[in-house]
Structure 1
Amino acid sequence: MICALGSAVCFGTASVLQAVAARATAPGTGSGVDPALLLRALRQWRYLAGLAFDGLGFLLQVVALRSLPIYAVGAALAASLAVTAVVAARLLRVRLSGVEWGAVAVVCAGLAMLGLASGDEGDHGGSTALRFVMLGVAVAVLGLGAVAGRLPGRARALALGLGAGCGFGVVEVTVRLVDSVTPKALLTNPAAYALLVGGGAAFLLLTSALQRGSVTVATAGMVVGETIGPAVVGVVWLGDRTREGLGWLAVLGFVVAVSGALVLARFGEAPVAVEGAGEGVEVRGVRRLRVRRG
């Protein structure tokens, strides 16, 4: 749980650094998904610093997923929005309302419940069929991105955010399905390909959604996509369980933590002053652009 919370802190801090970078990056094509956007963003030091935090967060996430049920780690990662809100309030002087401070407290309470109720990770290794299903979902995320690029603004942001969340969820599940990191084992394991495709597709979709659409809508879609599906897979197919008699507390904690994170979804777009973006120009910050899933 300490690693899961540390991962959330890294991702939440990275999102503040990358908020300025993504919106200060000149838009390219009118499509909802623009691969060249990543290359343009990499020219900015804030984006690179955010990637460093993302890399550390990803390592902590892997450790957490090797010890905790997926539902607990997923809720902790969604709670990085609370970290983003607090960091934005401190460093960027963004004013949080009473409701938002309450949401931060709610997220913390939900995570505390999960920490008390979570058992060990499931002992089911996952079938070969599940590995191929994850690869199919990862490819489908790419297809969703192509379709979402033709939708109008709000619907496009929701579809891209939901697709990104599903891609990040694929990474959460496949970390558990990669049981050996030897070259031969990786090359013959469909889950390894699913991890790369899912993480890369999700990162691209989220970057495109946050650079062009409603960040609040995209973030809400992402939180739903990256928590509910992986939690179900972990419980049904990988054997994730709770401590004896505390299943109700785990369910309550999960719902409370994710609900609090959704209230804080607007902290993909906390107002940030951008140096070098032009005099009198203000951009909206964007949600975490994470390497942690690929």
Structure 2
Amino acid sequence: MICALGSAVCFGTASVLQAVAARAVAPGSGSGVDTALLMRALRQWRYLAGLALDALGFALELFALRHLPLYAVGAALAASLAVTAVVASWMLRVRLSGVEWAAVGVVCGGLAMLGLASGAEGAETGSLALRLGTLGVAAGVLGLGALAGRLPGRARAAALGLGAGIGFGVVEVAVRLTDDISPGALVTDPAAYAVLLGGGAAFLLLTSALQRGSVTAATAGMVIGETVGPALVGVVWLGDRTRPGLAPLAVAGFFLAVLGALALARFGEAPVVEEPGP
């Protein structure tokens, strides 16, 4: 659980840096899958620093996924919005309202409840059909991004955010399914390809969502996509359970953490503070 929370700290801080960098580059083509926009963002040092934190957060997430149920890890990752809000209030001098500070507290309380109620990860390794399914969903994320780029305003941001969340959720599930990390096994494992395709597609869609559109709508879609789906897969197909008698506490903690994150959705992109003119 410490690794899962450390991952949230890394992702939450990275989003502040990446958001500032994404807004500093020229607008993209309007497509939800805009590789040119991502390449321009990669020229910004803040974006690269954010990617370094993302890499560290991903390493911590990998360890957490090996020891915790998917619902616990997903809720912890959604809590990165609380980290982003706090970091933005410090680095960018963004003022948090009383409701938003309360939401940060709700997220922390929900995660504490999850930590107390979570059992060990399920013993199921997942069928070949489930592995192929994750790869198919990862490919579908790219299609969703292409369609989302044609939608207007708020609908486009919500669709891009949801697609990015589904991509990150695919990564969570696929990492859990990848039990043999030897080179020979990875080459023949569809889940390994799902990690690469799902993660890459999610980054493309998220960068486009950060650069334009309603931040709140995009982030809300992302939080739902990366938490609900993996949690259901873990419980239904992979055998994730809670400690005996603590299922209600886990359910309450999960929904509190997710709802608190949704209340902080505007911090999916930390506001950029403009420098005053002469």
TM class, shorter-chain normalised? over 0.9
Maintained 8 Å contact 2:159/2:218: yes
Q: What is aligned with 1:133? A: 133
Aligned residue identity for 2:154: R
Aligned residue identity for 2:160: L
Q: What is aligned with 1:169? A: 169
Aligned-partner Cα distance in 2 for 1:20–1:158: 20
Q: What is aligned with 1:208? A: 208
For residues 46-89 of structure 1, what are the alpha-carbon distances to aligned partners after superposition, in whole Å with 9 as ceiling and x for unaligned? 11111111110000000000000000000000000000001111
Aligned-partner Cα distance in 1 for 2:13–2:162: 22
* Structure with the higher fraction of residues in helix conformation: 2
Deviation at 1:268, TM superposition (A): 2.3
Aligned residue identity for 2:191: A
For residues 210-247 of structure 1, what are the alpha-carbon distances to aligned partners after superposition, in whole Å with 9 as ceiling and x for unaligned? 11111110000000000001000000100100000000
User: Equivalences for 1:119-130 in 2 at 5 Å?
Assistant: 119-130=119-130
Q: Is 1:144 aligned to 2:144, yes or no?
A: yes
Aligned residue identity for 1:252: A
Aligned residue identity for 2:41: A
Q: What is aligned with 1:153? A: 153
Q: What TM-score do the two structures reach when normalised by structure 1?
A: 0.92
Report % sequence identity: 80
Aligned residue identity for 1:169: G
**Alignment RMSD, CA only?**
1.1
Aligned-partner Cα distance in 1 for 2:173–2:48: 27
SS at match of 2:121: coil
Aligned-partner Cα distance in 2 for 1:32–1:179: 33
Q: Is 1:219 aligned to 2:219, yes or no?
A: yes
Q: What is aligned with 2:4? A: 4
Unaligned segments of structure 1, at least 5 residues: 281-294
Maintained 8 Å contact 1:32/1:212: no
Aligned-partner Cα distance in 1 for 2:30–2:132: 33
Q: What is aligned with 1:89? A: 89
Maintained 8 Å contact 2:19/2:210: no
Maintained 8 Å contact 1:24/1:274: no
User: Equivalences for 1:56-135 in 2 at 5 Å?
Assistant: 56-135=56-135
Maintained 8 Å contact 2:12/2:83: yes
Maintained 8 Å contact 1:216/1:267: yes
Deviation at 1:252, TM superposition (A): 0.3
Q: What is aligned with 1:31? A: 31
For residues 141-198 of structure 1, what are the alpha-carbon distances to aligned partners after superposition, in whole Å with 9 as ceiling and x for unaligned? 1111111111111111111110110110000000011111222101110101111111
Deviation at 1:271, TM superposition (A): 2.5
Maintained 8 Å contact 2:22/2:211: yes
Aligned-partner Cα distance in 2 for 1:253–1:175: 24
Aligned-partner Cα distance in 1 for 2:270–2:12: 13
Q: What TM-score do the two structures reach when normalised by structure 2?
A: 0.97
Aligned-partner Cα distance in 1 for 2:205–2:269: 17
SS at match of 2:243: coil
SS at match of 2:272: strand
Aligned residue identity for 1:186: L
Deviation at 1:274, TM superposition (A): 5.8
Aligned-partner Cα distance in 2 for 1:155–1:232: 25
